[in-house]
Structure formats: structure tokens, C-alpha cells
Chains A and B, each alone.
Chain A
């Protein structure tokens, strides 16, 4: 059974936000790796689209990271990306391209630079459901 909440240590949340701010005004993307839905590690990935409205992880880097995760017994608890200029909800493109329904999709909105908004969603068969994030 998958737990209902995504559990993320505070320092990893900071690391993810920092990454999103570094890549601003473009979209940042990465992987939250862990056991089930408890995150243990942040992988900052390269967005090959270099765009403020879309992202695609560099395929080879993604392949290498997934291999490392498999070797370390880590799962892809969540996939994160930033919305530099839009709100914290999945875009139509996010829904169309959600190829990993078992992972959660975390969005970091930077509309309010001082206080980024972060939410996690399950995206399955075109349906979105918000999942609570527990910061520990």
C-alpha cells in the first residue's frame, strides 16, 4: 500500500526550492527519490527545453539517475518541476505527459518569490488528485 502523504525532510525542500530559484526564469526539474513516499534524496536534473513554460529532463541523465536509484534501492517518490510564472496546479501539458502514474508530481510555483507555493499531485489517467506534503 502506498502511503497517502509525501514526506519530505525540510532541508530537501530547501534544496528543491533553491534549485528552482537558480534556474529561474526557466523551469527547473528534478526527482525526489526515496522509499515509498518518504523522500531521502533530491536529484537536480537538466531541463533540455531551457524554457519558462516547459521542461524535459535530459534523457541520458535521467537514465543514469534511474539506474543509480535502482542500485540504491530507491524509488522515484516524486517528480518535481517549477512554474516560474504560473500557479501551483498541473498544466494541461503536465497531465498529458504524466507517464509515471505511480510517482507523485510536485510543483513549485515561484509567482510569489518570497513564499514559493509547493503542492503534490497524483496524475492518473488524466485525473488529478492533490496529495498532502508533510515537511519533517
Chain B
């Protein structure tokens, strides 16, 4: 009896309660609703801002060439076609590049994350002389843009020689340009794309794991390596997943290292970069003109949009699959300085 009375009192007498609180309740409720409406509008706008180019690309990729010039057609294609996709796939050698990109990104990401985990763990959990110095080196590595050393790395691998041994034995140095080897070597040395960031993130994560766990393992007779593999690694799964995703995705879309070291391997990012030229050449061939100057800019851009979509589709699938763990783990890691 009393229970229902309280309940009805709670729901019917909003104005009563408002009057009792001296208008505070009404003000507070209005404020809450106001904030929530403002937030919704703001977030919707920003989300639209971020997604708009993607949506435009999708709609453009289904248009025929005629639709592009048609002033009436803005976002919904008049003549729906999938011809663009077929053409872009042909020009980018899609299946081959996809396979190559996948293999390269996967192996590079695995190597980089494995190496960075080792190094990050070393920095987080051991005391050794010159530790601060080496960690400062990691910071320096984050700060140095790869472009600064790109010229000399380029030549370094063009005339590759370990301590002059090759010169001694065969009389000439090795040209490693265009092979995958240099990049794998760099990855093994934690010098790949943004590896300093991964080391930093992993170190921060390991520092937050309580020391007692490790000590218990030592007391029970676990060695250093075994402790690392059996005790620490399973705990670090979220941060490792995030780092792996970063490494995979950034490698997938990277144009700098790819064009510098992996120029001969047909990767999606490199193919996408070349797509306007390839397309120009293709159009010149089928129209029979000698140069690619006659190709219309909108059609080239439409092709580029289609190509971009095809490159990012695997990434979007991966992201949708992993985003929950990814976002939550990253934002709850507590990256502290």
C-alpha cells in the first residue's frame, strides 16, 4: 500500500516536487535535456563531417561517366553501374595486390609488435645501467621524422654492406633496393613506422601491472623468459591487439616506406597512388590518343574514389570486427606520462 503510494507520488507529482524544491527540479531537468539535445546535434554534425567524404565516395563510385557531368545528379546515381569497380580492380591488379598487401602487412605487423613488446617489457620491468639514456633514445626516435634519414637509408640499402664483408668477398656491394629484406630488417630492429609509439604504449601498460605477480612467479621458480611469456603476455592482450591493429593498418596505407623499400612489390597503397597515371595510360590506349592529357579530371577522380574504397574496405571490415575491444582497451589503458 505504502509502496504504490510512494510510486504514484513519484510519477504524478513532478510539479509538486518542483514546487517543494523551489523550482530547482524543473531547472535541473530542463538543463539536462538541453545539454543532451545540444550534444546530440553537435555529435551528429561532427560524425556527418567525418563520414561525408566516405559516403560521397560510395555514391560516386556507382556513377557512370555521364552522371558525373550531369548537374542534376548530386549524390544518387542516375545510371547505376559497377563498371568502375571492375575497371579499378583491373588497373590495380586487385587480387594480386590485395594478397601482397595482406601478407606484407601481416608479417610486418607481427614482427614489429613482437619486437616492440620485448623492448617495452625490458624498459618497464628491469633496472639496468643507462636505462634512462636508452629510453631517451626511444623518445628521440619518435621525434625524428623518417624523412630526415630517408636519403641516407636509401643509399645505405642501395649499396648494402655489412662491415664491408661483401666488398671483400664478391668485390661489389649488394643492391637491396626493391627487395623486402631491408624493411624486415628495420622492423626487427624496432625501426619501422611509428614503432617508438608502440614501445612507449606497451611500456606504459606493463608498468601498471602490479609487481607482486611477477615476484610470485619468480618465487615459484619461473625464469625471466618464462615469466614474461606465461604471466605477463596473457595480461597484455588488449594493448597488444591495439598495437597490432595500428601496425597492420598503418602499414597497409603507408606510402612512404612502401615506395622507398618495397617499390617492386605490388602493394595496394602504391597501386592506389599510381592509379591516376595508370588510368590515364589506359584511357589513352583505348581512345588511341598519344598522351593521357585528354582524360577528364572528374572521371579520373571517380576512379580514384573507387580505388580508395576498394583499398579501405578490408580495413573497415577489420575495424568493425575489432572496434569494440580496440576503442575500449585503448581508452582504458591509461596512457600516463
- Tell me, yes or no, whether A binds B: no
Interface set of B (CB-CB < 8 Å, partner A): none
